[in-house]
Structure 1
Amino acid sequence: MKRNETLADRLREVLLDGYWIANTNYKKQIQSITWEEATQKIGTLNTIAALTFHINYYLAGLLSAFEKGKLEISDKYSFDLPPIQSASEWDQMVTEFLTNAEKFVATVAQMNDAHFDEPFIDEKYGTLLRNIEGVIEHSYYHLGQVSLINKMIQESKI
């Protein structure tokens, strides 16, 4: 299997339809909760909505960078979630996340394997491969948080 296919499969696993590593994925987690649950604060933890926004921020930013050849996102804005005050606002966020996840997977699947060892935008960011692997690792890290926060919310209802 080519690297582009392997990476796309790993991204699909964590974002859209996998169960192998975490026994869940973002799509399953965020489609199974209400907007009230997504915005429910548990202590000092981020909300599920904030974590969803955070991962989507990077997916959208990297998709733009792939298209424009310029990185226009900054870590300092990655948690700047606008308030969510309704089911329709949460549904819109979920739809945007899933659309970007699908686009990101499809884009990686179409990449030329020779480009994975090239610098990503600027040499200071490392290679394209390193950055895509970073998206996978970062997504699993926060998926674990989403899953645990969701369990805490569901257990608080019992």
Structure 2
Amino acid sequence: MTTAQQLAKHFRGVHFGGNWTNSNIKDQLADVTLEVAKTKVHNLNTILALTFHMGYYVTGVLEVFNDRPLLIKDKFSYNYPDITTETQWKQLIDTLLLNAETLAQHIELLTEEQLKQDFTDAKYGNYFSNINGIIEHTHYHLGQIALIKKILTHKN
């Protein structure tokens, strides 16, 4: 298995399962209602905010793989749209997962040389570090979602 294929496997694992943590985005969000997703716990981000945030970065990185400029900015990564229906909430999840699989398909095709190349600009590091970073970032927020979900579903 190439390095790129291994990265794609880990990227898929955090989104769809089959990783060491035995937790993934798809399963964690499968039974989360919009009401739960929007419920604030202390000063933490909501599950909705975290879901949008993760998808924002996946979409931004995917744009680069589609030969478009890197336009995402940290300051906009929590600017999610007003989601008022279960359908809109499920669409947000479905879009995140669809984009994650599409990005994984791009990742697994990278060569060893491409993994070493600058990710749009030297200041952002190389492809390897950015892909590894988005995997770490997703695991971090997955953990937050799992904890927030436990808090909200075990209140009673």
TM-score, normalised to structure 2, is 0.96
State the distance in 2 between where 1:40 and 1:101 align: 25
State the distance in 2 between where 1:30 and 1:140 align: 14
State the distance in 2 between where 1:26 and 1:62 align: 18
Q: Which runs of 4+ in 1 moved over 6 A?
A: none
Structure 1 residue 84: deviation in Å? 1.6
Provide the residue aligned with 1:17 in structure 2: 17
Report if aligned partners of 1:39, 1:84 keep a CA contact under 8 Å in 2: no
Give the gaps of 5 or more residues in structure 2: none
Report if aligned partners of 1:35, 1:87 keep a CA contact under 8 Å in 2: yes
Alignment-mate amino acid for residue 101 of structure 2: E
Provide the residue aligned with 1:3 in structure 2: 3
State the distance in 2 between where 1:27 and 1:37 align: 16
Alignment-mate amino acid for residue 126 of structure 2: T
Q: Give percent identity, aligned residues only.
A: 39
Provide the residue aligned with 1:34 in structure 2: 33
State the distance in 2 between where 1:37 and 1:47 align: 9
Report if aligned partners of 1:69, 1:121 keep a CA contact under 8 Å in 2: no
State the distance in 1 between where 2:19 and 2:42 align: 28
State the distance in 2 between where 1:92 and 1:70 align: 25
Structure 1 residue 18: deviation in Å? 2.5
State the distance in 2 between where 1:85 and 1:70 align: 31
State the distance in 2 between where 1:139 and 1:95 align: 16
Q: Superposition pairs for residues 3-152 of structure 1, below 5 Å?
A: 3-20=3-20, 22-152=21-151
Q: Which one is further off, 147-156 or 64-73? A: 64-73
Alignment-mate amino acid for residue 11 of structure 2: L
Q: Residues 32 and 19 from structure 1, CA distance in 2 versus in 1: closer, same or farther, beyond 3 angstroms? A: farther
Alignment-mate amino acid for residue 43 of structure 2: T
Give the gaps of 5 or more residues in structure 1: none
How many residue pairs align between the two structures? Answer: 156
TM-score, normalised to structure 1, is 0.95
State the distance in 2 between where 1:143 and 1:127 align: 24
